Structure 1
Amino acid sequence: MGQGQQEQVATSLAGAVSEEISASLAPVDAELERRYPGDPGTRQPVHTVYVPGDAFAVDTIRSWGEKALTALDTHAPDAASFAAVLGLSDELAEPVHARVRAKLEHEPIEDLRVDFEDGYGPRPDVEEDETAARAARLIAEAYQNGTAAPYMGIRMKCMEAAVRDRGIRTLDVFLTGLMVAGGLPEGLVLTLPKVTYAEQVTAFARLLEAFEKTHGLDSGRLGFEIQIETSQSILATDGTATVARMIQAAEGRATGLHYGTFDYSACLGVSAAYQASDHPAADHAKAIMQVAAAGTGVRVSDGSTNVLPIGPTAKVHDAWRLHYGLTRRALARAYYQGWDMHPGHLPTRYAAVFAFYREGFEQAADRLARYANRAGGDVMDEPATAKALSGYLLRGLDCGALDIGEVARLTGLTRADLEGYAAPRRGDLTASTK
């Protein structure tokens, strides 16, 4: 057949066959859209900082940044010394150090949780009431005057019987305080700890629904994170993955799954000396969380390290290397968020995050540009890979590891282009570029 000659196309099935199959799968199509809406496309913070309720103050964010800078100046005063501690290449040393300093000066905390659970403990009711009301006032003022972290909120006590009423009251005092101060801020995040049964998640969703109705808020305005800290939250008595049930039990309100390193490890009987986020038990739990959350729009966060970078320089360097290594390990496993418990963790949190994105930046930009231009190359990428590449670049932009100018220069793409590749239509991911 000569080139340019029109190909003859023949079919055997009547159109009704396709229509019948589509009709039979309509419920499945609807279920896919409901259960697996995909990533929300919003910024994910690289960490969550926990501050006990009684320690939270108007200057907490600035104070953490200043303490982190002091630690950096004291124990690694220049790019070369900081790079030597962490094993950064000469190429990365200066840009990472400069960006870490800039981050600590301008946005030291991306996500802050005022803690009313383990970090706060049992207190007289009057005291916890006052602390919750103060937290609401300070957070509202921070958002109003531009000094807030991008995300802020509280971790209440859990839904177990012994502390349930106290947790509900603290949440009520806090949310009501925000409403009185002008309304709920866009960056508000709530964390429900020590969840063991999906029914506790449903109960919490009902609680938030009741608050919304009381104040005339849109249904679903309040979402929350679920903390995975018990063996029961990973595996139910019948052998099924409890965490998957919890996501559904939240009825669309779940925004994150946060791994609780030490409670979970202790629950499994791991000795204190071996309780860490790289323990095999931790890897198993987070792998289950990751699979359960995939495609649901719920994001997974790693836990923390309890080794604090304090004391003489040698000890600080050891703690920094540990924290840096754990953070890099988590990033490679697609856990893009973790917990930080001390200002001294901030330099290595950001160093690890910035190095991660800057190391792979040029290769990711080149691959995405080739994909966008159908240019080919030594790797044949498909829509799902383009989604991963653009998501990688967007996360690097959001945290400050990358600048939009350098991304545009190497990819020829705008942020809107990147967002389009990062959130394709469901059908686009099954299409081949071959």
Structure 2
Amino acid sequence: MPSRPRCSWQVAGRAITSGLILGLVLGLLTTACTWGSAPEPGLFGRNQPSSAGSGPPSPPIGRVNPDLPVLGERTLTPDRVDDPPLRVALHALRRTPGGTLLDWSVTPLQVVGLRVGDPVDAHSTAAALVAAAGTFRIIDGDRGTVYRPLISTRSGRYVGSAPAGGLRIGVTSLLQIAFGALPPTLHSVSVELPGVELFTDVPVPDPGRYFGPTRAVDLARSPDVDEVIRWSPAFVYHAAGGQRFRIGIVAVESASDATSIVWSIWSITDGDGLRGAAGPPITDRHDALGHRSTASGLRLIPAGSARAITVWHESTGPEGGGDAFCLCTDLRTAPTDLSRARRSITVVSNLPPLPLRTQFVDVVLPGVGRMQHIPVSESLDSSSQVAGAIQDVSGEVEAPSGRWEAATGNTWPPPRPSRDVLRHTREVVARLD
């Protein structure tokens, strides 16, 4: 096997998005890779939250309130020296009059050459993730429903907060985004943030309450890393003008309500890249027919089963009609550098849950082959990260445009958007297929 490439991620053009769907760009991320023999750190960290005592304490400027609940976290680790790694965390879903509030955070992590408190470049991966908040999703797999963020009828933008003064190294920016009111009988959901595997079994408390933490978590600790666990054979991607690629599986994360696959696409030769290409094995036939280049092509077959599990799609059309968009990475804005050899991107695909106690799956790449006996990692459900419900005594924010300044991680719980803010919105609810 050739030596593994080292990859650098940087945001091309506007710092908008790693999200999916309906004209919202996904990941204007440009990879610049060089080949070497050293192990390549994965883009995503699989480690679950650890206590503050397991790593060096955060400096005072970035100190996080120990009462801050952490329902789950993910680590993104760009290789480019001046693009810091970051940790994204999910803190709460709160029912509030007129809607549902998602509390989440971004913490740019310290690396050599950067000091705690230094501003983060507006074209960094961290800034792109914040700009992509309008592509977040709440998924109710049992009812087959997908909730998208509320859109302000005054500004036309999603309703949520933005970091005050931008992002800073070692400082947790506690962000919020508003969704419509969830059914009162709905008690747990999955949450999709662009570019990372799903947060699963996220508890939804009663109105006016949130779930407390089980432990203090140091969100500014050193980043976690992973590596590719299995490589596919090299293959010719006919949709990209005969360019040769290889696919690497980073992780298959299984939970009771969903499955996430993290995988990497590596270019071996020059070609047309993935910006306009659409076809198996990278993109499924449905998306290819719709002229969408997405990370929807692979399938999972659980050990002992003959039935393939395919990537989830969402549709806003009527039952049996309308178009459907995958809950996966959208490659239509893939960087032009993917048309050159020795470049890569890391993508995420979300699928229905695997059968109970599935330990291994086969990953099927149509037209390429079958990667057998891929180990399955069990996700630590968000519900296991919380203690009892606590009364929400936070105040309200008046923000006519639907945007307000975010708090830092030493403020919990942060204020919520007022009923008036949520009244001037429109809601989009999609069907899960």
Same fold judged by TM-score > 0.5?
A: no
Short-chain TM bin: under 0.3
Normalized per residue, the structure richer in strand is: 2
Larger radius of gyration: 1
Normalized per residue, the structure richer in helix is: 1
Task: Compute the TM-score of the two structures, normalised by the length of structure 1.
Answer: 0.24
